[in-house]
Structure 1
Amino acid sequence: MIVYGPVPSRRLGHSIGINNIPPKTCSYSCIYCQLGRTDRMQVKRREFYKPEEIFHGAELKIKQLNSKNEHVDYFSFVPDGEPTLDINLGTEIDLLRYFDIKIAVITNASLIWMDDVKEDLMKADWVSVSIDAVDEDTWRKIDRPHGSLRQQDIFNGIIEFSKTYKGTLVTETMLVDGVNDHDACIKKVAEHLGVIHPKKAYLLVPTRPPAENSIKRSSRESLVNAAEIIRSISGAHVECITGDEKEEGFFFSEDIVNDLLSISSVHPVREDIVNEILEKRNVDKAVIDDLLKRDMIVEFLYEGKKFYRKNLKNKQKT
Structure 2
Amino acid sequence: VPDGEPTLDINLGQEIKLIKSLGIKIAVITNSSLIDKKIVQENLTEADLISFKIDSVEEEIWRKVDRPNRNLSLKDILNSMLKFKEIFTVEIITETMLVKDINDNNQHIRKVADFLGQLKPSRAYLSIPIRPPAENRVQSPSEEVINQDYHIFKEKVDQVECLIGYEGNAFAFTGEVEEDILSTTSVHPMREDALKDFLRRANSDWLVIERLIKQGKLVESEYEGHKFYIRKLLKQ
Q: What is the identity, as a one-letter code, of the residue corresponding to 1:162?
A: K
Aligned position for 1:303: 235
1:91 aligns with 2:23: no
Deviation at 1:244, TM superposition (A): 2.4
Query: SS where residue 187 of structure 1 aligns?
Result: helix
TM-score, normalised to structure 2, is 0.69
Unaligned runs of 5+ in 1: 1-19, 21-78, 247-301, 305-318
Residue from 59, 63, 67 that aligns with 1:144? 67
Q: What is the alpha-carbon distance in structure 1 between the residues aligned to residue 8 and residue 131 of structure 2?
A: 24
2:94–2:125 CA contact under 8 A, matched in 1: yes
1:195 aligns with 2:118: yes
Q: What is the alpha-carbon distance in structure 1 between the residues aligned to residue 158 and residue 107 of structure 2?
A: 18
Query: SS where residue 21 of structure 2 aligns?
Result: helix
Q: What is the alpha-carbon distance in structure 2 between the residues aligned to residue 87 and residue 145 of structure 1?
A: 20
Matches within 5 A, 1:80-229: 80-229=3-152
Q: What is the alpha-carbon distance in structure 1 between the residues aligned to residue 113 and residue 47 of structure 2?
A: 25
User: CA offsets, 1:97-124, max 9 Å, x none?
Assistant: 1321110100011110111111111110
Deviation at 1:126, TM superposition (A): 1.0
User: CA offsets, 1:240-282, max 9 Å, x none?
Assistant: 1113236xxxxxxxxxxxxxxxxxxxxxxxxxxxxxxxxxxxx
Query: SS where residue 154 of structure 2 aligns?
Result: helix
1:241 aligns with 2:173: no
Q: What is the identity, as a one-letter code, of the residue corresponding to 2:160?
A: V
Q: What is the identity, as a one-letter code, of the residue corresponding to 1:85?
A: L
User: In the comparison of the two structures, how many residue pairs are matched?
Assistant: 171
2:123–2:157 CA contact under 8 A, matched in 1: no
Q: Percent of aligned pairs with the same residue?
A: 47
Kindly report the root-mean-square deviation, in angstroms, between the aligned alpha carbons of the 2 structures: 1.5
TM-score, normalised to structure 1, is 0.52
User: CA offsets, 1:67-119, max 9 Å, x none?
Assistant: xxxxxxxxxxxx32211011111011011113211101000111101111111
Q: What is the identity, as a one-letter code, of the residue corresponding to 2:44?
A: L
Q: What is the alpha-carbon distance in structure 2 between the residues aligned to residue 211 and residue 94 of structure 1?
A: 36
User: CA offsets, 1:122-151, max 9 Å, x none?
Assistant: 110110000001111100110111011011
Unaligned runs of 5+ in 2: 169-233
Q: What is the identity, as a one-letter code, of the residue corresponding to 1:184?
A: Q
Query: SS where residue 26 of structure 2 aligns?
Result: strand
Query: SS where residue 128 of structure 1 aligns?
Result: strand
Deviation at 1:172, TM superposition (A): 0.4
Q: What is the alpha-carbon distance in structure 1 between the residues aligned to residue 52 and residue 129 of structure 2?
A: 17
Higher relative contact order (CA 8 A, sep 6+): 1
Q: What is the alpha-carbon distance in structure 2 between the residues aligned to residue 176 and residue 236 of structure 1?
A: 23
Aligned position for 2:228: none
Q: What is the alpha-carbon distance in structure 2 between the residues aligned to residue 236 and residue 161 of structure 1?
A: 20
Deviation at 1:229, TM superposition (A): 1.1
Deviation at 1:167, TM superposition (A): 2.7
Deviation at 1:208, TM superposition (A): 1.7
Deviation at 1:171, TM superposition (A): 0.5
